[in-house]
Structure 1
Amino acid sequence: MRIGIVSQWYPPEPAFIPGELADELAGRGHRVRVLTAHPNYPGGRIYPGYRQRWNTRETHGAVAVRRVPVHPSHDTSAVGRVASYLSFAATSSLAATRWLAGMDAVYVYHPPPTAVAATLLPRLSGRAPVLLHVQDIWPESVTASEMAPTGRRGRLLERALTAAMRRTYRAADGIAVLSPSMAQLVIERGADPARVRTVLNWTDERLFRPVPVDPAARAALGHRGRCTVMFAGNMGPFQRVETAVRAAAALPDTVDLVLVGSGTEEEPARRLAAELGAENVRFLGRRAPEEMAALYAAADFQLVTLRDLPALRGTVPSKVQAALACGRPVVVSAPGDVVGLVDAARVGLTCPPEDWRALVERFAEAARMPAAERAEAGARARRLYQERMSRRVGVDAIEDMLTKLPRRR
């Protein structure tokens, strides 16, 4: 097959799903063309070695890549984010007329949904069917963020985005989603149920894998021989890390909480820990991706927290796949499908979201868990990842969907 891939983000940016999908499909004999922007995520600045030009082309093995100009922005500026999304919609649409001509199918990585615009012009001639890979639900992912306007402007934005997403879901020939709840949401918003399929995400398996416990990594975490729970990743408005800080502060002699990463909520969480006198809460800041597998192995549990929002009930955060791929049990304080997944597979402990008292109980239970039982949960975690979330399983599912997309005149 001749397969087009449209994604605003693509390696060398940390967007491994579209990048690995392109490589895997090419390795299976498909002819793959990628349409993307000049790399600028997550810093919002064009990467060294790149210069924004109209017709930048690259070849990575059997994958052909075309990059188009984009307004680089990924800060807290709503105007900057909108400009970034719309600029890629415009430039990719113009480039797609020739670059995606003759494709048998086109895969679109969402977010942002504006990337779908690149598939519209090729539809006017030769109509390649489109598979939309939905990673989060709009408009909620926008309207619930700190950048969203409030009042009348906020309501207008929500109505406009809702209408746009309904049109997008109806137009897609196939939709891959992360969970059953997300599938139900996109169906309620206009998608044909026969075209929707749940495909669990995979993680970057070069980085996240089982490794032996390293004394240097334990020292980096400040491990002192008692239950150590690690939160790794973005500390933003959807993660509610203050819930974990409060819970850990209630168990000063039982559990250590280590937060690795950064985000807009890091400073408020640091202030809260100081106010509570939580000396068992430590912040390590950002760490190199190559260090993460060792840090995962050095901690006893990995923590997942999410806000209690309808749009997040169908989310399986990427840190879940990373933990399971490393063979580590998890503590989950979140709504929806991720709790059912963890409970069914017996790979960790769960509690309702944004309930720090319930999380205190889970932390205490984690501390009481014998080492042998924790190791068994970790082994089940690794099996769950390999059987249901691995790159091979995910690419198999996406490839199957692409080959079965309806061909239209």
Structure 2
Amino acid sequence: MKLLIYCLNYAPELTGIGKYAAEQAEWLAMHGHDVRVITSHPYYPAWRVADDHCGWRYQREQRAGVTVFRAPLWVPHTPSSIKRLLHLASFALCSLPLLAAQWRWRPEVIFLVEPPLACSPAALAFARLRHCKAWLHIQDYEVEAAFALGLLKHPWLELAASALERHALMHFDRISTISSSMLSLARRKAVPDERLVYLPNWADLAIAPSASSVALRSALGIPAHAVAALYSGNMGNKQGLEILAEAARLLAGETGIHFIFCGAGPGRALLEQRCQDLPQVHFLALQPAEQFPALLGAADIHLLPQRADAADLVLPSKLAGMLASGRPVIATAEAGTELASLVSQFGIVTPPGDAQAMVRALQALAERPARRGLFGAAGKAWAASHLDRHAVLARLESELRRLTEGGGAGTRGTTLEGLGEK
């Protein structure tokens, strides 16, 4: 099968959408498919093009059996609302020549990852003109999220973006997304079940505490008897990171609880500023892929803050690794959201923005190692049953074959309770 993956983010980015896009492309290539990728230069989550890349050049490279084409793009240092739009528009425009260059190659499926939705008109036009199938994979509902989080505020922009989204949802042959609540939202947007596919973000099930985990804690100065609470990932607008600094300050007198904040993004500088006089708070840069399991294994508790206005528009991709690590999770989420329903099985859910509630949850788990063990074991078992990389991607491969062979519907009524249920 010839597959063209069209995505803004890709390896060597270490977190978020880029990580999953690359693992998907490489798995499909390893299983005999001819895979090409149109993407940008790596910049996320630091919002700065990597030192070994030039953001103003076109580039072609081979990565793990995948042919990768990189388009120029503009990356703002401080991604405000208008700057974000220009950033996305720069990729949508600069990637057009790379898309046109695939005309003679003629893929059987063009697989667009949202965000950015701005690439959907070109992807659909290419698919129709070259008589190939078009698949839209929604990692974030970027239109709703942008307005809910206040990233975009102009009504005319909302109208235009909503019209663009409606057009995409009406015309792509398959629509997939990463959670049951996001599938339900697609249904409410009038996408029929026969075009919907559940495609969750998977986990590395081999994650476990190791000698490297112990060494990492020691290097940070975390005592062996202390409980380490970890946040790792993007430090941006959707996370509500201010609650982490508030919780750390409220626990400043408790030397038995330490915090590890690992990541990059526009919110990191402010988080560091708020925690600068707290000796039990430790900051790390994003860890290389080979070190990431050791980082997760170094934690006793995982922290998953999320703003209330992002509920059910995104499902944090970092949750998969948290569950696979066998550690409990404390998440901030509104009752009744999918994130709250899921995490309540493997940890504690607290209201968004309530630092006192997060502190109480941390203290409760810190004082009860047996409870931490039960939550962690339950999360690891759930991840093994639902988020195994090979199982998820084998199912994607099957759906791609059905689509290209003129097969039937996507996955009806699939929920997080059972991968592949009908």
TM interval, short-chain normalised: 0.7 to 0.9
Alpha carbons 1:229, 1:300 under 8 Å: kept: yes
Q: Which residue of 1 aligns with 2:116?
A: 112
Distance 1:362 1:46 in 2: 38
Q: Which residue of 1 aligns with 2:27?
A: 24
Residue pairs, 1:289-304, within 5 angstroms: 289=288, 290-304=290-304
Gaps of 5+ in 1: none
Question: Shift in Å at residue 304 of structure 1?
Answer: 0.5
1:139 has 2:143 as partner: yes
Q: Which residue of 1 aligns with 2:410?
A: none
1:282 has 2:317 as partner: no
SS at match of 1:396: helix
> What are the Cα deviations for residues 60-116 of structure 1, in whole angstroms up to 9, with x where unaligned?
454223333333446424444323322322233343234155322121111111232
Give the partner amino acid of 2:266: T
Report the CA distance shift for 1:195/1:357 in structure 2 as closer, same or farther (over 3 A).
same
Equivalent in 370, 380, 383 of residue 381 of structure 2 = 383
Q: How many residues align?
A: 394
Question: Shift in Å at residue 357 of structure 1?
Answer: 3.0
Q: Which residue of 2 aligns with 1:90?
A: 93
Equivalent in 393, 402, 405 of residue 404 of structure 1 = 402
Q: Which residue of 2 aligns with 1:258?
A: 260
1:44 has 2:42 as partner: no
Distance 1:259 1:69 in 2: 31
SS at match of 2:207: coil
Give the partner amino acid of 2:236: G
Alpha carbons 1:178, 1:314 under 8 Å: kept: no
> What are the Cα deviations for residues 233-285 of structure 1, in whole angstroms up to 9, with x where unaligned?
223232222223334444433633332234433444455557xx8x4651414
Report the CA distance shift for 1:188/1:201 in structure 2 as closer, same or farther (over 3 A).
same
Alpha carbons 1:92, 1:118 under 8 Å: kept: no
Moved more, 39-48 or 98-107: 39-48
SS at match of 2:160: helix
Alpha carbons 1:166, 1:190 under 8 Å: kept: no
Alpha carbons 1:70, 1:91 under 8 Å: kept: yes
Q: Which residue of 2 aligns with 1:369?
A: 368
Q: Which residue of 2 aligns with 1:175?
A: 175
Distance 2:64 2:246 in 1: 49
1:394 has 2:392 as partner: yes
Report the CA distance shift for 1:66/1:143 in structure 2 as closer, same or farther (over 3 A).
same
Residue pairs, 1:5-404, within 5 angstroms: 5-14=5-14, 15-41=18-44, 42-45=46-49, 47-48=51-52, 52-54=56-58, 56-73=59-76, 75-99=78-102, 101-145=105-149, 147-148=151-152, 150=153, 154-203=154-203, 205=204, 209-212=207-210, 214-224=213-223, 225-251=225-251, 252-253=253-254, 255-273=257-275, 279=278, 281-289=280-288, 290-309=290-309, 311-335=310-334, 336-343=337-344, 346-370=345-369, 372-404=370-402
Moved more, 165-174 or 185-194: 185-194
Alpha carbons 1:46, 1:72 under 8 Å: kept: no
Give the partner amino acid of 2:230: M
Distance 2:160 2:405 in 1: 30
SS at match of 2:21: helix
Distance 1:363 1:51 in 2: 42
Alpha carbons 1:138, 1:165 under 8 Å: kept: no
Cα root mean square deviation, aligned: 2.9
Gaps of 5+ in 2: 407-422
Report the CA distance shift for 1:102/1:84 in structure 2 as closer, same or farther (over 3 A).
same
Give the partner amino acid of 1:255: I
Distance 1:229 1:185 in 2: 33
SS at match of 2:403: coil
Alpha carbons 1:239, 1:305 under 8 Å: kept: yes
SS at match of 1:233: strand
Q: TM-score, normalised by structure 1?
A: 0.85
Question: Shift in Å at residue 305 of structure 1?
Answer: 0.8
Alpha carbons 2:320, 2:387 under 8 Å: kept: yes
Distance 1:102 1:130 in 2: 12
Alpha carbons 2:61, 2:67 under 8 Å: kept: yes
